[in-house]
Amino acid sequence: MRMYDLINKKKKGEALTKEEIEFMITGYTNGEIPDYQMSAMMMAICFQGMNDEETLNLTLAMRDSGDVLDLSEIEGIKVDKHSTGGVGDKTSLVLAPMVAALGIPVAKMSGRGLGHTGGTIDKLECFPGFSTSLTEEQFYQNVNQVKMAIMGQTANLAPADKKLYALRDVTATVDQLSLIASSIMSKKLAAGADAIVLDVKTGNGAFMKTEEDAVALAKEMVKIGKNAGKKMAAVVTDMDQPLGNAVGNVLEVKEAILALNGLGPKDFMEVVYALGTQMVLFAEKAKTEEEARAMLEETIKNKTALDKFAEFVEAQGGEKRFVYQPEILPRAGIVMEVINTEEGYVSKIKAEEIGLASLVLGGGRATKESKIDLTVGVLLNKKRGDKVKMGDVLATIFANDMEKAKEAYAKIVCAYEVQQEEPNPVPMIKGILK
């Protein structure tokens, strides 16, 4: 088998076999197939596409290029959730303890933030001593005992995807549906859960800018997961404004704790409940969506989700007192208010600009090597649909550098759009695909 022949075959629009895809992925991962040949293949796929069988085989070949977790030591139906990334997305910090409080095992692998989207691990490291560097044995033990654990992705989880994504990133071959879906799903399938709920975001702050593209990606990923023998659902959610009010690591942790105390922002909780409902149904703890949601709401009312979060933080080396006293978490030295200059209603908040403002402040990574400041970020005082007067505070900046704060201010002012008439409400949940 020669890579040249496979490139030629795909260039002509023919389907690659399972054996050909495995040969290609194994050879590239091992360094036997050079970058220039794989670049040519990626471009051929961008022009010619892949059918369902090819997409599944590509996903499985990337999954099998490294470690695949065997979660059989964990009792019960293991559920996982994955977000395609957004601004202010602290969903896992609230969702996982709510689901775990119902006795459902949540075995989750998470990453760090890159660019304007935040990472769950960075947020959790706001708790002194907290670690996601667990051995597989510790991970299994924690899920069995606490019902939830979050560990960092192992270096050998879908290494083919890491290598391939780096190549696609510099050869303008990122935005092909089969390649995006197989990249995400190879990692999720390697993480070993029985059921996967996807939060596919759409809008200004999301990877998929249009609802049509987000639905197409959701369908593709659900199809891959089902064909691989997993229970699958995708919830398409709005990311045309930041989720909740807080953007930035410590700020988002504080908002997550507020949510666990029953004081979460409405838009944020809507997404949490939509995702959680699917997870509870997959775990066979409820028969209807109404019953599943009521069970989740009860974990907030009776504080079992809050206590579960504290138990989880402690089990992974963190100090749980910060969960019950979030006001003692570290805070930034500079607080600056962004003032409104026109009357009307907030019609739009460009999520990406708010994310970039947090990045400018030092709350995100421009590169994988960047060091982040956990205390900086933006708190949105006004959201889409809110009535505003001259002099109202639109947002509050938390910074440790005055020049960076001024730069963030300029971005936030540009992110807000105010109009005279009240805008129509935008649904947070665009659709649920199974």
Confirm whether 82 is a catalytic residue.
Answer: yes
Active-site option among 67, 89, 122, 161? 161
Active-site option among 183, 188, 373, 382? 183
The set of long-range contacts for 130-134, using a CB threshold of 8 Å and a minimum separation of 24, is: 130/313, 130/316, 130/317, 130/318, 131/316, 131/317, 131/318, 132/316, 134/316
Positive or negative: CA dihedral 305, 294, 252, 187: positive
User: How many Cβ atoms sit within 10 Å of the Cβ of residue 283?
Assistant: 22
What is the SS3 assignment for 334?
A: strand
Sequence-distant (6+) residues with CB within 8 A of 256 are 90, 93, 94, 123, 264, 309
Sequence-distant (6+) residues with CB within 8 A of 81 are 91, 92, 95, 96, 106, 108, 196, 197, 198, 199, 275, 279
Tokens read off for 178: 């089969």
Confirm whether 116 is a catalytic residue.
Answer: no
Tokens read off for 319: 């100090």
Give, to the nearest 10 degrees, the angle between helix 159-170 and helix 52-63.
120
Confirm whether 358 is a catalytic residue.
Answer: no
Confirm whether 365 is a catalytic residue.
Answer: no
Active-site option among 82, 382, 404, 411? 82
Active-site option among 168, 231, 308, 411? 168
Q: Which of 352, 262, 295, 386 has its CA nearest to residue 104?
A: 295
Q: Which of 211, 203, 213 has its CA nearest to residue 181?
A: 213
Tokens read off for 91: 């969903």
Active-site option among 81, 112, 187, 308? 187
Confirm whether 5 is a catalytic residue.
Answer: no
Active-site annotation, residues: 82, 161, 168, 183, 187
